[in-house]
Amino acid sequence: DVKVTQSSRYLVKRTGEKVFLECVQDMDHENMFWYRQDPGLGLRLIYFSYDVKMKEKGDIPEGYSVSREKKERFSLILESASTNQTSMYLCASSTTGAATRYSPLHFGNGTRLTVT
Amino acid sequence: KQEVTQIPAALSVPEGENLVLNCSFTDSAIYNLQWFRQDPGKGLTSLLLIQSSQREQTSGRLNASLDKSSGRSTLYIAASQPGDSATYLCAAAGGSYIPTFGRGTSLIVHP
């Protein structure tokens, strides 16, 4: 079974802090994604990566950056946390190429971040 | 840009009912469509994935169908149980392989 692990389930940070959210997958997947989920807004894509050191902006990248130094790890960075970044953050991974047509997207359990 | 809509937004049914959740998408050029379940405060669990060349997929009491030409997918849950209570999301993946999600249907099955 594919396992996507997010390092923290709950996180409380103060406004202005630099925040790191970590995600690790164990299936050698090429693609990794960061979403945030808010009531009434659904899942919104922040960033994705299709290879080591590669990254692409999603729909709402402002205030975030990402790092992918190793294939299995994809980090989301809040450069200076603000209260409007309080949300549920979800990491996901999938494989690529022709197999992507058939490869499910696998999610971690999420990190509930509160910025005070 | 792909848009995915799920109707209804919420559903409450008695145990034992068969029910249908709907998902529609605007761009029929998809590679696959995936259904997920999400329990409160948790991540998404993949239920079924239908490839673009397929019409349906089944897993236990779940059956998902896909009609690309009309831009629709349905998730059929047979003999619903209280343990089926959760939010169900669909996601359509096109040429970029990046799935577009609907906002989900919140299901409550009461005993």
For chain A, 116 residues long, give each residue's pLDDT as a single digit of tens: 769 999 899 999 999 999 999 999 998 999 999 999 998 888 999 999 998 989 999 999 999 999 999 999 999 999 999 999 999 999 999 887 665 566 788 999 999 999 99
The pLDDT of residue B31: 87
Cα B75 from Cα B58, distance rounded (Å): 10
Read off the pLDDT band of B98 (50, 70, 90).
Answer: confident
B110 by Cβ neighbours in 10 Å (0-12 / 13-18 / 19+) ranks as: exposed
Other CB atoms within a 10 A radius of the CB of residue B18 amount to 11
Facing A105 at nearest CB: one of B51, B52, B99? B99
Cα B92 from Cα A20, distance rounded (Å): 29
Facing A31 at nearest CB: one of B36, B97, B103? B97
With tokens 């047979």, the residue in question is B78
Q: How far is A16 from chain B (nearest CA, A)?
A: 25
Q: Are residues B32 and A101, on separate chains, in Cβ contact within 8 Å?
A: yes
B62 and B80 Cβ atoms separated by less than 8 Å: no
Closest CA to B71 of B20, B22, B18: B22
Q: Are residues A107 and B31, on separate chains, in Cβ contact within 8 Å?
A: no
Contacts A–B by Cβ distance under 8 A: 55
**Dihedral angle of Cα B46, B50, B55, B56, to the nearest 10 degrees:** -20
Facing A104 at nearest CB: one of B49, B89, B101? B49
B101 by Cβ neighbours in 10 Å (0-12 / 13-18 / 19+) ranks as: buried
Q: Are residues B41 and A94, on separate chains, in Cβ contact within 8 Å?
A: no
Q: Contacts by A61-67 with C-beta closer than 8 Å and gap 24+?
A: A64/A34, A66/A34
Q: Are residues A42 and B104, on separate chains, in Cβ contact within 8 Å?
A: yes
Distance (Å) of CA B80 to CA A9, A27, B16, B53, B111: 30, 33, 5, 29, 10
Cα A34 from Cα A43, distance rounded (Å): 10
With tokens 């490869």, the residue in question is A103
The pLDDT of residue A40: 85
Cα A83 from Cα A106, distance rounded (Å): 28
Q: Are residues B43 and A105, on separate chains, in Cβ contact within 8 Å?
A: no
Contacts A106 to B, Cβ<8 Å: 46
Q: Are residues B98 and A48, on separate chains, in Cβ contact within 8 Å?
A: yes
Q: How far is A48 from chain B (nearest CA, A)?
A: 9
Contacts A112 to B, Cβ<8 Å: 41
A27 and A16 Cβ atoms separated by less than 8 Å: no
With tokens 């940070």, the residue in question is A13
